Amino acid sequence: MAKYPPEPFKIKMVETIKLLDRKERINKIREAKYNLFNLKAEDIYIDLLTDSGTSAMSDNQWAGIMRGDESYAGSRSYQHFEDSIKDIFGFKFVIPTHQGRAAEALLFSKILKPGDYVPSNIHFDTTEGNIRNNGGIPVNCVIDEGLDPSTNYPFKGNIDLNKLQQLVDEVGIEKIPIAMITITNNSGGGQPVSLENIIEVSKFWKKYNVPLFIDACRYAENSYFIKQREKIYHNWSIKEIAKKIFSYADGATMSAKKDALVNIGGFVTLNDDELAKKITSNLIITEGFRTYGGLSGRDLEAVAIGLQEGLNEDYLKYRIEQTAYLGESLLEQGIPIVQPPGGHAIYLDARNILPDIPQEHFPAQALAVALYIEGGIRGVEIGGLMFAYKDEKTGDMVYPKLELVRLAIPRRVYTRAHLDYVVGIARKVMEKRESLKGYRITYQPRLLRHFTVELEEI
């Protein structure tokens, strides 16, 4: 039996949720054109769409909200924000943004030229979108194990150095102005990257003088996995591990909506003076002055506190074990997931669950819709709908290797009984899987289509 960790907190405030009846759910998802982003949150019972911006804040964070200094320039809350980030990340400049993708947009707009390549393990969708939007080409170089849902490997987020070398040889180093690593590797199952790999990748890019940036959304969860799985770090504190990670990079972007336990916020942090100046000028035009960057003083305060709370080992132990509990409970019911369980989410292997729905009919979306209809649960498709693209040369659609439904767990929000309910519903969907049908697109935009796509059942 999977083990559930006792929560290292008690609950001080609650929010009511309710389950619509089945007929209502069927109507709601039809009206939403089978796109779960179009549902109203009040029509969902257990919302596992994302772990981003959905955390429950602590009493300390709420107290910080009251203390927020709303001065336009030089606010005390910015100082706290900057100090907290420098304490962990150790870079010279800290540039606040309203969330992670704004940090990406600012960075790529100042570093990419059309036709440039940006390698990573696997880029997240907004990162890909921002690279393409600046004329760049995202390249995913995760190890092969990271693309196979069934292999059990401790660091499936690692980068394959041979793939990096291949890219350099193919396109030329002058076409690679920046390299990245995403920790944990969200689009590949929330899998961690080892410190050993981070060090090797850092050395690789240093040799070519290419700056390495870390997409640090879930760096604390990644650090906890390093402590658990990389022997030499067993006795290190999580903060020491985090500091070591960033010491091998030239900068980082972060959506604070994840491991900083807040509902909004982000930043870019880096050492390069010139680049920091360019980004700051752009920030002032698009986001806000350099000491608030699109956030209120109270938001900056909540990030400053949340970042440090997110490194607490009791919290991280609970967090990672809670996610593992959901994963192991699903496996006990014979439901295939990406193994081993990731940090922030469990990923159902839709290709394996629905082998008869071809990829162009979006099996992972079919599974996500079925979970809503069966039990009011919202997950998110991470497969062909999110990542397929048209090859400019051949005109063919290129589909990703993985077809997954991500069940992301908001931090400090759901209890064991909620997760047991999710497992029960997933099991019912498994039993009915032969009756599920695929979907076809009736509307789609040019970039990031999954957010606004409209579908019909086939």
How many residues sit in the footprint of ligand F0G (CB under 6 A)? 15
Asked whether position 379 contacts ligand F0G by CB under 6 A, the answer is: no
Asked whether position 217 contacts ligand F0G by CB under 6 A, the answer is: yes
Residue in 279, 439, 274 with CA at minimum distance from that of residue 354:
439
Closest-by-Cβ residue to ligand F0G is: 100
Residue in 17, 25, 23 with CA at minimum distance from that of residue 45:
17
Cβ pair 222, 158 in contact under 8 A: no
Asked whether position 120 contacts ligand F0G by CB under 6 A, the answer is: no
CB of 156 to ligand F0G, least distance (A): 15
Task: By CB under 6 A, name the one of 64, 68, 96, 100 that touches ligand F0G.
Answer: 100
Q: Residue 269 or residue 438: which is nearer to ligand F0G going by CB? A: 269
Cβ pair 290, 75 in contact under 8 A: no
CB of 138 to ligand F0G, least distance (A): 12
In the block, residue with structure tokens 């929560």: 7
Task: By CB under 6 A, name the one of 124, 267, 372, 387 that touches ligand F0G.
Answer: 124
d(CA 44, CA 377): 6
Q: Which stretch binds ligand F0G (CB under 6 A): 34-42, 120-128, 154-162, 428-436?
A: 120-128
Residue in 87, 55, 53 with CA at minimum distance from that of residue 304:
87
Asked whether position 266 contacts ligand F0G by CB under 6 A, the answer is: yes
Asked whether position 186 contacts ligand F0G by CB under 6 A, the answer is: yes
Q: Which stretch binds ligand F0G (CB under 6 A): 26-34, 95-103, 283-291, 450-458?
A: 95-103
Cβ pair 323, 342 in contact under 8 A: yes
Q: Residue 160 or residue 221: which is nearer to ligand F0G going by CB? A: 221
Strands 137-140 and 179-182: unpaired
In the shown chain, the binding pattern of residues 218 to 257 toward ligand F0G, with x for contact by CB under 6 A and - for none, equals -------------------------------------x-x
Question: For the CA atoms of 178, 181, 182, 185, what is the dihedral angle to 10 degrees?
Answer: 140
Q: Would the CA dihedral through 96, 97, 99, 100 be positive or negative? A: negative
What does the chain come to in residues?
458
Cβ pair 49, 380 in contact under 8 A: yes
Asked whether position 293 contacts ligand F0G by CB under 6 A, the answer is: no
Task: By CB under 6 A, name the one of 25, 32, 47, 52 that touches ligand F0G.
Answer: 52
Asked whether position 54 contacts ligand F0G by CB under 6 A, the answer is: no
d(CA 186, CA 192): 9
Residues forming contacts to ligand F0G in the complex (CB under 6 A) are: 50, 52, 99-101, 124, 126-127, 182, 186, 215, 217, 255, 257, 266
